[in-house]
A and B are shown apart, each in its own frame.
Chain A
Amino acid sequence: MSRRRVDWTTVALIAIAIVATLSASAVPNWIRYLGQQAVSTALASVGVMVLLRAGLLSFGQGLFYFVGGFAVALLNRYAAISDAFVIVVVSAASAGLMAAALGAFLAGYRGIFFSMLTLAVSMVMFGIAIKVRLFGGSDGLNIGLMSYFGYRPRGSEGQWFSFVFCIWTWTAFAIATNIFLGSRFGRLVQAVADNELRVEFLGYSVKKVVYVAYVVAGILAGVGGAMAGLSARHVDAQFAYWTTAGDFIFVVLLSGQASVISPAVGAFALEALRSYASALFPDQWQSVFGGIMLAIVLFLPAGLDRLAVLAWRRAQNLRFRRGRLSAQESRL
């Protein structure tokens, strides 16, 4: 068996999760809550990133965020299931099924048609959700306390558990997505964006690649929605509204697409901005958003993670140069 190269993304993800878990009890409640919101948004944004790698911009990921969130609420309400693990699995499966059904129809579209259709489907869901009793109308639904393998923590302990659960769920799904993107099939996602004709002439169906990418993105958004729901202990129709999907796109633009970790940075920035900016300038906080967006597009179009990529390359260059220097010295 050949030795496998260390995957630094996986290492970093696990390191982040361990640090977050250990420091969780040392930080105030609101920061933990911010973290939960951030990883929920981040996971859905990872899905947007997967689709963007295939050259597709989805304005409708809010739909799967909604499906995931309401799967939690409905299971909790009508089936009296409160186990967080069961709930996340069911949310992922429902969002995945929804994406599998819609994908069959959407995978044939590209560009603006794809974007507009995803937006339309998501807004149809919003329109239904806001009218239907089952989904709590515009008030939404409350969600009870979660339990973890039969243990149901309460109060601030419950909050600690839900934070740690969200962090590790994000880590697990981010690692899985990283493996997916690093596989030969995952590489086809990017190949489709580059040249569909060539993929077809290499004997593979472009539609299949797009379909799988769409389902993966749907599952990620579904799990994100489930985490958002069980963190806030409340879900509403707003999950399916197009601005929710807009947030995910904002996050990916802000953070870049170099790695599955990147969206977490953007998502944290977004959630922090949302809570600070709305407190500091309640009426203008969205123009702060716009300003940041403009700055990114003008000065750092590849996103914030470009800075990390450049730093990494520089470090490797230095190491390389130092290696060469010492080789020269030893020759002398």
Chain B
Amino acid sequence: MTELLQCLAVQRRFGDFVATKGIDLSVRRGEIVGIIGANGAGKTTLLNIVSGYLKPTAGRVMFRGVDVTGLPPRALVRQGIARSFQVPQLFGSCTALENMMIAQSLLVEPRSSLRRRFSDKALIDQAQRVLGAYGIAEHAGAVVANIPQGVRKLLDIAMATCASPDLVLLDEPTSGVSADEKDGLVSRLIGRFGGTSCAVVFIEHDMDIVRDYASRVIALYDGQIIADGDVGDVFNNSDVARFITGAVDAARSEDRHASD
């Protein structure tokens, strides 16, 4: 079974508005899928459905061949679907280290260990190691409300993925990160998850990042998939150029300038 994730005619309606109009897609192990699309195209809704945050109004979601439609996030997390957020979701009153420790006590350690002491040497060391692996160990002692956005973003992802999940969903991992930090952040993530049996699905607005790191691109427009395939194919697709990347408009305006 190579299909890790399958969405079958997934639809989500908010009142009269249909955010995703019957999306079919499948993701295999080892793939790094970039999702692109304009605001309101349904990218985050799709991620919300797959991660269990929203229930689809129609359609089914299969994970490892099992129907997981409508399961709550916590059940899906335990089955190996990790998810990060566009706006980092952290424990604001705790330090970065404590955030990581809480994440590990829930995801990595067995349930029975919740009875053990929180400030336990092994747990601290383990959390410190993960922070180090993401290059944010220097912020370990800082309360997360006071650390830079890029670090918060990394911490959010580090917490979500600390249990070596099978499917990693990243909602705009580079939004709010300064331009010169973006590459480092994504290459660190791809370095960690790429080339493993794990699949990564990420939503991204920076087309250079998508071109450089994705092995496959899915383009969404108005709640539907308009292109799905190799990076080159999708970017050369005329619909994608017209609706998302804006390449045609740019070319046209250049023509106009040339004829002036």
Structural contact, B118 and A205, CB atoms closer than 8 A: no
A120-B217 Cα distance, complex, nearest whole Å: 55
CB-based contact A194/B115 at 8 Å: no
Do B116 and A184 touch across chains, with their CB atoms under 8 A apart?
Answer: yes
Residue of A nearest to B51 (CB): A201
Pair A198/B90 contact, Cβ less than 8 Å: yes
Give, as a whole number of angstroms, the nearest-CB distance from A252 to chain B.
17
B130 to chain A, nearest CB (A): 14
Binary interface profile of B, 99-131, with partner A (CB < 8 Å = 1, else 0)? Answer: 001110111010001111111010100000000
Are B77's CB and A201's CB within 8 A? yes
Q: Across the A-B interface, give the 6 residue pairs with the lowest CB-CB distance, nearest first.
A: A203-B77, A194-B91, A185-B114, A184-B105, A202-B106, A198-B89
Residue B13 at the A interface, CB < 8 A? Answer: no
What residues on B are CB-neighbors of A194 within 8 Å?
90-94
* A183 and B117 contact, CB distance less than 8 A: yes
A197 to B74: give the CA distance in the assembly, Å: 10
Among A182, A191, A201, the one with the most B-chain Cβ atoms within 10 Å of its Cβ is A201
Partner pick for A197 among B89, B98, B102, B117, CB 8 A cutoff: B89
Cβ-defined contact, A198 with B91, below 8 A: yes
Write out the residue numbers on chain B whose beta carbons fall within 8 Å of the beta carbon of A5. Answer: 119
Interface size class, chain A = 20 to 34
B78 CB within 8 Å of chain A: yes
Closest chain B residue, CB of each to CB of A196? B89
The answer to whether B73 touches A200 (Cβ under 8 A) is: yes
Pairwise interchain contact B118-A201, C-beta atoms closer than 8 A: no
CA distance A99 to B159 in the complex (A): 33
Pairs A–B under 8 Å by Cβ, sample size 29: A2-B121, A182-B117, A183-B115, A183-B117, A184-B109, A184-B114, A184-B123, A185-B115, A187-B118, A188-B114, A190-B93, A191-B102, A193-B93, A194-B92, A194-B93, A194-B94, A195-B89, A198-B91, A199-B106, A201-B51, A201-B74, A201-B83, A201-B89, A201-B160, A202-B74, A203-B74, A203-B106, A204-B74, A205-B74
Report if B195 contacts A (CB, 8 A). no
Interface status of A96 (Cβ within 8 A of chain B): no
Q: Is A186 an interface residue (CB 8 A)?
A: yes
B229 at the interface (CB under 8 A from A): no
Q: How far is the CA of A274 from the CA of B44 in the complex (A)?
A: 57
Complex formed: what's the CA distance from A36 to B243 in Å? 74
Interchain CB contact under 8 A, A200 and B74: yes
Given contacts A202-B77, A203-B106, A205-B74, contact A191 B91 (CB under 8 A): yes
Interface pair B113/A202, CB less than 8 Å apart? no
**Further 14 A-B residue pairs, CB within 8 A, beyond A2-B121, A184-B118:** A184-B102, A184-B113, A184-B114, A184-B115, A184-B123, A190-B91, A190-B94, A191-B91, A194-B92, A194-B94, A195-B89, A198-B89, A201-B51, A203-B78
Cβ contacts A65-96/B at 8 Å (1 or 0 each): 00000000000000000000000000000000
* Separation of A36 and B121 alpha carbons in the complex (Å): 39
- B103 contacts A202, C-beta separation under 8 Å: yes
Chain A residue with Cβ nearest B109: A184
Residues from 152 to 211 in A contacting B, C-beta threshold 8 Å: 182-188, 190-191, 193-195, 197-205
Q: Are A195 and B91 in contact (CB under 8 A)?
A: yes
Given the complex of chains A and B, what is the CA–CA distance between A205 and B121 in angstroms? Answer: 26
- A190–B93 CA distance with the chains assembled, in angstroms: 9
Across the interface, A186 reaches (CB within 8 A) one of B78, B91, B118, namely B118
Nearest A residue to B115 via CB reads A183
| Bound CA span A200–B123, Å | 21
- Does B232 count as interface, using CB distance less than 8 angstroms? no
1/0 per position for B171-202, CB-CB distance to A under 8 A?
Answer: 00000000000000000000000000000000
Q: Which residues of A contact B101 (CB under 8 A)?
A: 187
B106 & A200 in contact (Cβ 8 Å cutoff): no
A118 → B minimal CB distance (Å): 24
**Centre residue among A2, A182, A183, A193 by max chain B CB count within 10 A:** A183
Give chain A nearest CB distance to B220 CB in angstroms. 23
In angstroms, Cα B73 to Cα A197, docked, is: 9
Residue of chain A at shortest CB distance from B77: A203
Contact present for B72 and A183 (CB under 8 Å): no
Partner of A184, one of B89, B117, B159: B117
B85 contacts across to A, CB distance below 8 A: 197
Q: Contacts A190-B93, A194-B91 hold; do A203 and B116 have CB atoms under 8 A apart?
A: no
Q: Which of B51, B102, B121 is within 8 Å of A187, CB to CB?
A: B102
Q: How far is the CA of A200 from the CA of B81 in the complex (A)?
A: 13
* Complex contacts, A199 vs chain B, CB 8 Å: 106
Q: Is the CB of B102 within 8 A of A202?
A: yes
A195 and B118 contact, Cβ closer than 8 Å, known pairs A201-B77, A201-B83, A202-B106: no
Chain A residues with CB under 8 A of B113: 184
CA distance A190 to B160 in the complex (A): 19
Interface residues of A in 42-77 (CB under 8 A from B): none
Residues of B within 8 A of A182 (CB): 117-119
